[in-house]
A and B are shown apart, each in its own frame.
Chain A
Amino acid sequence: MAKSCSCNDFNRAQLLRHGIAQAGRGLPSIEPGMPLPAGTGLDRRTFLLRSAGAALSVYGASMLSPRHFEEGIAEAAAASPKQPVLVSIFMEGGWDALSVLAPVGEDKMYEELRPKLALEAKAALENGSGKIFTEDEKLMWHPAAKGLAELHGEGKVTVFPAVGYDPPDESHFTSRHYWEVGELETNTRSGWMGRYLDIAGDPGNPLQGLSLDYSLAPALATTKMPVAAVSSPAGYKMWANGLDEPLTAPAMRTFGELGALGAPSPAYAQARGASLDTSIVLNEMAAFVAAQEKATYKPAVPYPTAGGEFPERLAALAEMLGAGLPIKCASLTAVGSYDTHSDEANTLSTNLGQTVESVVAFQRDLEARGELADRVVIQLWSEFGRRPQENGSGTDHGAAGVAFLIGKPVTGKMVGEFPGLAKLDENENLVNTSDFRAMYSALLEQWFKTEAGLIIPGAGTFGGVPKLIA
């Protein structure tokens, strides 16, 4: 690298190296002082960035015309028109599988274990609020999850009635961590979706892995590719007191450049990386944000008004996907907490209802947008299920739980069966009949067309890889 140069050139070279090193293509031979190619219509920086093939840009949002953004987005979309998308939704706290799909057919044991919390099947079935799960008629959908029953009837829900791993861990944080990193390893820091993006991602596109949240989902943590967290997509822009044109663009450029400098410690690296990625996401989002400001977006289908930011974020996600934003994996946290040690009946019913209604609205929204529904699979997961024996008004931590894959592409065929309540494990918890790592492996192979073994250690050894995609 050149010994000395003006700061801009130095930073430019740094940026390039950052982008290229990320792309794993070695360092570029571009140095300050190289002449610009004539007739490209590009300024030097843009040329350098594009020629690097890194699609890396650190312009402030207002630096480029909307046309540039549209072109950029169109390029990204055109590059993979059929890009499959996974939307992963976390039910935080460990949801009670035995209430979501209640084993009302095991009446005696179920009522013994759940004297207060057992769902009243007879009344629910008579008044239509409860629906029998057609693949195992011992199970009844929670009335608050009736939207899932409807989608299941259309062949759009694959049910894992008892998913987990052996040996089960009853700690929220250990179990959740296993699900996030895709292996039973406490030291792993990259997420399972993050490792997929490390292989299939683009070094200039943080939106490829998008947490619709106030912070980044651990399942999206990458070792080299950028990913993004956006809490409120329509509002993703930055302004400051007394900062205006013509200084905004150069200031935002410098903000991004500060993120591309060397980092002597992990903390510095996190701070710098976040600045650089923020400046890129501002660009990626600019056209979308501008469009949202012009016209108040109205979803094709109504979303529930209860449930706070969750339905709003799903509506925004559908709109972002519809606009062609290059998202591969998205992550959200469902409404409320599912850690129902007490007051379970009320809490679960409210949170589950608002979550399921929002998810169903999202699916209908995708369907209203035509082919988009063919590109999106939704995953609902939680770190574990809860203890079959209730503790009074709630339930303590358990082992096997329930998970769903939703969307037009899924087979809609149950994976594993409900193991019954007669035989519990040594801690009196539900035993699992499928492994979450098999689910991940199947999604990677069949949905993302990626070799699962590169991402999930021991892929294929967790009871085989089930057929998940039709």
Chain B
Amino acid sequence: MTVNPGATQRRAGDASARSHAGREEHRKRAKQREQHHEKQKHGKHHKRRRKHKPHKHVRRVVAEPRGTLPIPLPSAPASPPAPSPVPVESLGAPISLAQARRLLWRAGFGPAHEPGPAPGQAEALVGQPLQQVVYGLTRPAGAATLIGPGPVNDEGNALAPYDVWGDDHCWWLDRMVRSDQQLVERMTFIWHDWFANSNEKVNSQRMMLEQNELFRSMALGSFHDLFMAVTGNPAMLVFLDGIYNDKNEPNENYAREMMELFSLGADRGAYTEDDVREMARTLTGWTAEWSEEGLREFEFDTARHDKHEKTVFGQTGNWDWEDAVRLCVTHPLHASFFVTKLWGYFIPSPPDEATLASLQGLYVSSGYSIRAVVEAILQHPDFYEGPELVTPPVVYNAGLLRAIGRPIDTTAWAWLSAGAGQQLFYPPNVSGWDFSSWLDTSTTKARWEIASYVTDETYANPWPGEGEPQYSETEEPPAALASAMTYWGSPLLSSESEQCIVDFAQTCLPGELAEWQQSPYRALRQNALRMLIATSPDMQVS
């Protein structure tokens, strides 16, 4: 998250002005939507939604001047409340369809759906107790199962994730699409952004994938343990120059970022420039050897470590790298940083004071348990009733594939996703991707391209060859829209957007079609509808 302008812009002050007026409004709207969707649920397979008549719930919102400001995301305040033992507020009701979809998009990679009209993963969760649904994500048993055919490249061969450019991206995308432990993959994805290393500098897909496995295996454990493992991780030691940090020539790269980006945050008064320099000395000693296959034998060499006293955060001792991590994690401003940053990956509005206090209490009392905090966030009312979150490009891509049940059978996703602003293993810098401004005129065009590629094998062919099936010659607009919605697993669109697409379906074909146009033009319409649904603003948010 970590914006390029810094963690800095996501201060409570910025967002809280919005949140009071905003929150009530959002609750109201969420409720309206909920009622709207509940009604539809009782209709026969969404039929009512597709009738072309004015909708009761159309919000006649006059478009505001929008500009292109980044979205303010939560950031920890400089003076957070003290940790509180009061339990975090929980929504506590059985889960609705809209809530299930939001959960599957934000805590995973979208609802899975087999081709055809059968109900998808979200529908199957409706009515279950929220806690049970959340625990289903946060407490998986055993190893993950990858469902469906394994990934192959465009020639049908197995991927070479250690060796071929883009195969690393597609290898992980495949796990996102097929893993039955969706939250574990989503957390792995979060840690990749939190501890953002790029292969641009690491220059070893193997090292990046080993780090990826570290993130996965520790995804929901103790943050203290994870931070410790990351500090001695080879990719990190290369990326932030830990292996060049020698007692005679301390290198500040990791020291600064471990405080600013990984554990405490900038501009909160959590540390000084002297702390950066002393922390660099504390971390001295890591080393590696060059070999023909690149860097190897990463280890802590006491001969390179500065064994003199250091003073960090006002505490003096003969600290080493393990102390460095401990000093950060036990710093009074760490818990608020951690829970707010983690919250921001799931909920765009900042936690209120009481929630922030309770989340900190939970985090510290649970021994820095990531799982405990994630479970609280995923059950919090703000998750379900608060404003929408923009779906990251890789999640969007994985979600469209899951919606139509398509496995990884091309490696085009690597460059397509790069175009949309996110190539896995290549975050733009150590602060990770900028979650505050995913969508602009370049990335939106790229998402259109992703959606089009997703339809590669399954779009309606307007001009079929001899013996190939021909598209319907008689399909009416409501059936056309129903078919396009089913294609994507019946996503939820806002009523305004739906109305706009309904109108397109009704009016896009010429009034009179010649005999030869009947089928081809209906196929064109079907493809257009699918593209409009998949690229609609509604499908970019959850």
Contacts and interface: CB of A to CB of B under 8 A. Distances in A.
Contacts of A435: none
A274 B439 contact: yes
A446 interface: no
Given A258-B537, A278-B441, A173 B266 contact: yes
A100 interface: no
A226 B68 contact: yes
B13 interface: yes
Nearest to B18: A266
A405 B298 CA distance: 44
Interface string A199-213: 000000010000101
B387 A265 contact: yes
Interface in A154-191: 170-174, 176-177, 180-181, 186-190
Given A244-B462, A258-B537, A281-B441, A264 B8 contact: no
Nearest to B3: A173
A6 B525 CA distance: 20
Nearest to A212: B442
Which of the listed residues B6, B72, B523, B526 has the most CB atoms from chain A within 10 Å of its own CB?
A: B6
B445 interface: yes
Interface string A257-297: 11111111111111111110110010000000000000000
A222 B418 CA distance: 25
Given A194-B68, A220-B68, A222-B67, A250 B419 contact: no
Interface string B529-542: 00110011110110
A448 interface: no
B65 A242 contact: no
Contacts of A27: 62
Nearest to A343: B244
Interface in B256-307: 256, 260-261, 266-267, 273, 276
Interface stretch (A123-131, A387-395, A453-461): A387-395
Contact of B541 (A181, A223, A231, A271): A271
Contacts of A218: 4-5, 70, 437
Contacts of A265: 26, 348, 387-388, 541
B70 A221 contact: yes
B251 interface: yes
B193 interface: no
A11 B521 CA distance: 25
B360 interface: no
A270 B9 contact: no
Contacts of A396: 251-253
Contacts of B13: 187
A404 B429 CA distance: 24
Given A171-B260, A255-B535, A392-B244, A228 B455 contact: no
Contacts of B3: 173
A171 B266 contact: yes
A239 B460 CA distance: 15
Contacts of A11: 500, 503
B459 interface: yes
Contacts of A223: 65, 67, 69
Given A177-B8, A341-B252, A224 B437 contact: no
A366 interface: no
A275 B462 CA distance: 27
Contacts of B437: 215-216, 218, 221, 270
Contacts of A342: 241, 244, 251, 253
Interface in B43-83: 54, 59-72
A247 B521 contact: yes
A391 B253 CA distance: 11
B421 A238 contact: no
Contacts of A92: 429
B244 A273 contact: no
A291 B526 CA distance: 31
B62 A21 contact: yes
Contacts of B500: 7, 11, 254, 257-258, 261
Contacts of B455: 240-242
Contacts of B60: 1, 262
A224 B531 contact: no
Contacts of B68: 194, 216, 220-222, 226-227, 273, 277
A413 interface: no
A375 B343 CA distance: 47
A332 B246 CA distance: 36
A418 to B, nearest CB: 23
Contacts of A254: 500-501, 503-504, 508, 532
A215 B434 contact: yes
Nearest to B389: A267
B8 A173 contact: yes
A397 B252 contact: yes
A361 interface: no
A466 to B, nearest CB: 26
B244 A277 contact: no
Contact of B442 (A173, A231, A391, A397): A231
A112 B524 CA distance: 71
B523 A242 contact: yes
A211 to B, nearest CB: 7
Interface residues of A, number: 100
Nearest to A231: B442
Nearest to A282: B445
B452 interface: yes
Contacts of B504: 250-251, 254
A397 B430 CA distance: 14
A186 B70 CA distance: 13
A327 B3 CA distance: 26
Interface string B112-143: 00000000000000000000000000000000
A221 B440 CA distance: 11
Given A177-B6, A275-B444, A172 B439 contact: no
A266 B5 contact: no
A270 B71 contact: yes
A322 B500 CA distance: 38
A215 B453 CA distance: 21
A243 interface: yes
Contacts of B507: 8, 250
A426 to B, nearest CB: 8
A92 B427 CA distance: 14
A174 B63 contact: no
A339 B438 CA distance: 24
Interface string B217-252: 000000000000000000000001100101001111
Which of the listed residues B25, B66, B72, B267 has the most CB atoms from chain A within 10 Å of its own CB?
A: B66
B443 interface: yes
Contacts of B266: 171, 173-174
A394 B441 contact: no
B67 to A, nearest CB: 4
Interface in A367-413: 390-394, 396-397
Given A8-B503, A220-B68, A393-B244, A173 B440 contact: no
Given A186-B9, A269-B66, A274 B61 contact: no
Interface of B: 2-9, 11, 13-14, 25-26, 29, 54, 59-72, 200-201, 240-241, 244, 246, 249-253, 256, 260-261, 266-267, 273, 276, 348, 387-390, 418-419, 421, 429-431, 434, 437-446, 448-449, 451-453, 455-456, 459-462, 494, 496-497, 499-504, 507-510, 521, 523-528, 531-532, 535-538, 540-541
16 contacts: A1-B62, A7-B500, A17-B63, A180-B4, A206-B441, A216-B440, A221-B67, A226-B66, A239-B452, A241-B459, A261-B63, A262-B63, A264-B494, A266-B348, A267-B71, A278-B445
Given A93-B429, A218-B5, 20 more contacts: A6-B503, A11-B500, A17-B62, A186-B11, A187-B9, A214-B442, A218-B70, A227-B68, A241-B527, A247-B524, A247-B527, A261-B497, A262-B62, A263-B66, A263-B537, A264-B26, A264-B388, A337-B201, A391-B250, A393-B244
Closest 7 CB pairs of A and B: A262-B61, A177-B5, A7-B503, A186-B8, A265-B387, A173-B6, A271-B537
